[in-house]
Structure 1
């Protein structure tokens, strides 16, 4: 099973949802970078379940134990390995469905790929639980980028048709981003967030789930990082974003809406601003041209499907006996995983941008 991302930065994510632990090993992180562990814990706490009725009742503290690559408060330049213990798993919830293909899950495809030897408990290695080590890696990258003035943030743009205000794709500030970091339910307009919460609760009470959209932005990324064709910024970001379970769509800048525009409407005209920098009047290109950063904010939107684990009866198959069955899923599941996926999207974007920044002169 390949859960390794090979680029200038290399990292591997390991473990299963109900195994003893999950973790990540990162290589090629620059030496001598200070890491504030409390800030890492705060970043990861944003992904962890909350006792608010909007997330799973599974309670994991997600405190990473750094095994290597970090000494006296700084990175050493050798691989950084972190382990996160699994302490609150109910494997018995899966004993009666071990050969039933849960709709929307990777049970059937995983069984085919790994000849039935994959760990099915809690989704095993396919579980959203594996976004915890991704968030650790992203939190490390975040601190390195912030010292270079680069800030990355995300918010819940939409839950089941209820929409938040969009980022200002020209003038979003680091204070705007920091404000979202501090919110338990990261939206720009809190009133809209309250309506989203009601929609999530309604789905939970009906034994169902809802999906949504996450919008992310990276500001102060210098112009000129990335490459054309197959090693572009979009390519790297997309690989990492699609490593997040439940992600089903991704668009940069104006995205699919640009298909409805004319060239004169979609093109972003250049000019030299008062600070002597080349910028664009609009930002339909989402801060990336030809796979390379333009210096404008990098913007993207991520579509997240509804949580596939729902308590409503569903038709499926027993793929060992090759017969039709009816499935009723028990256990503890999120009625909407979008709020917890927000820091995972930020983490992926942090890693991708740091990866390309390593090529930047005098990094």
Structure 2
């Protein structure tokens, strides 16, 4: 199956199935000489893994990463890095009832039409479990970018279902299962408890950002940094919308206020989300994504079977009532993979360029 490799110079090839023996990825193009161990990668996988609260799937996967190649005596060698994550808690029998029907909103129908067969166990390649290898690769990218430029990636939940979440502080994000930037998440807990009991699901809105991004990443026309960010985010399971900076709010803005005025002290605003003309401005990259409701739910729904006859589908087993709850570290990882790929491409083509204008400091927000 094509379409499994992401990136140009920092290329990540994803492999495996949700209920296969293992999942993983091969990173080709990581610069040599960087200290790297499983301990650098595991924390981000722990943030994403299932079974961490009652609000997500209860599939119990340790998601312990193994480095199989590309590292010698604790340092990257410049050769392909193979990362392996073994599956240990598959329950394929949970999917026997849906092997011959199609879940509304899922890839069951399109996979069968395209390939002539599909793996119904956990969704096969369409499963959100295949985001784990990308989170592992993103952790490698994050470390290199932090060492090279001091780049930091952060993310949080902005909305779950019809419940908007205000922003209080980044400090709150690691201390609740929703990655919410607020101290009190009782409203979110009540909302999710009711949703689980109803057998239904909901969507979410996630914000992800990168600070200390070097100026000049990206290119005009078809290699725009923001275009590649949108491409990466739409590659995450269940993502149906992407906004850069002000996004769709730009429609209601005027040109006199939307443009981010540079001053000697920094840009006054960041409506552009850190990208101008497809090239990074040095401001924070600001991205928001919209995630659709989970397709695997207990609520009975109308569908057809593989013979085209009317049927009803109920999806039993262990599923996230909101896949957006675990999406924050995934979005961070995909943003990091875009930034490192463009950083390496910029270094290859423009490493000797001396800019005639001093770099404008980050936005004064």
TM-score, length basis structure 2:
0.91
Match of 1:115 in 2: 116
Match of 2:362 in 1: none
What is the number of residues matched between the two proteins? 346
**SS, match of residue 89 in structure 1:** coil
CA-atom RMSD in angstroms: 1.6
Match of 2:280 in 1: 293
Q: For the Cα contact (< 8 Å) 1:104–1:308, is it kept in 2?
A: yes
Which residue, out of 339, 351, 356, partners 2:337?
351
How far off is 1:62 after superposition?
A: 0.5
Deviation string, structure 1 residues 246-295 (Cα, Å, up to 9, x no partner) = 0000000000000111111211111111xxxxx31011000000110011
How far off is 1:341 after superposition?
A: 0.7
Match of 1:252 in 2: 244
How do 1:252-291 residues align onto structure 2 when only pairs under 5 Å count?
252-273=244-265, 279-291=266-278
Paired with 1:181 and 1:233, the residues of 2 have a C-alpha distance of 28
How far off is 1:343 after superposition?
A: 0.3
**SS, match of residue 280 in structure 1:** coil
Q: For the Cα contact (< 8 Å) 1:46–1:184, is it kept in 2?
A: no
Paired with 1:353 and 1:183, the residues of 2 have a C-alpha distance of 28
Does the C-alpha gap of structure 1 residues 182 and 78 become closer, same or farther in structure 2, counting only changes over 3 Å?
farther
Paired with 2:324 and 2:36, the residues of 1 have a C-alpha distance of 28
Paired with 2:41 and 2:175, the residues of 1 have a C-alpha distance of 14
Match of 2:359 in 1: none
How do 1:164-179 residues align onto structure 2 when only pairs under 5 Å count?
164-166=165-167
Does the C-alpha gap of structure 1 residues 178 and 224 become closer, same or farther in structure 2, counting only changes over 3 Å?
farther
Paired with 1:77 and 1:71, the residues of 2 have a C-alpha distance of 10
How far off is 1:164 after superposition?
A: 2.3
How far off is 1:11 after superposition?
A: 1.2
Match of 1:317 in 2: 304
Match of 1:28 in 2: 29
How do 1:332-347 residues align onto structure 2 when only pairs under 5 Å count?
332-347=318-333
Q: For the Cα contact (< 8 Å) 1:233–1:292, is it kept in 2?
A: yes
**SS, match of residue 340 in structure 2:** helix
Q: For the Cα contact (< 8 Å) 1:23–1:83, is it kept in 2?
A: yes
Paired with 2:17 and 2:310, the residues of 1 have a C-alpha distance of 28
Match of 2:181 in 1: 188
The answer on 1:39 being equivalent to 2:40 is yes
**SS, match of residue 263 in structure 2:** strand
Match of 2:137 in 1: 137
How far off is 1:71 after superposition?
A: 1.6
Match of 2:226 in 1: 234
Paired with 2:261 and 2:53, the residues of 1 have a C-alpha distance of 46
Match of 2:101 in 1: 100
Deviation string, structure 1 residues 98-118 (Cα, Å, up to 9, x no partner) = 1201111100100011112x2
TM-score, length basis structure 1:
0.92
The answer on 1:126 being equivalent to 2:126 is yes
Unpaired runs of 5+ residues, structure 1, are 168-175, 274-278
The answer on 1:66 being equivalent to 2:67 is yes
How far off is 1:182 after superposition?
A: 6.0
How far off is 1:36 after superposition?
A: 4.3
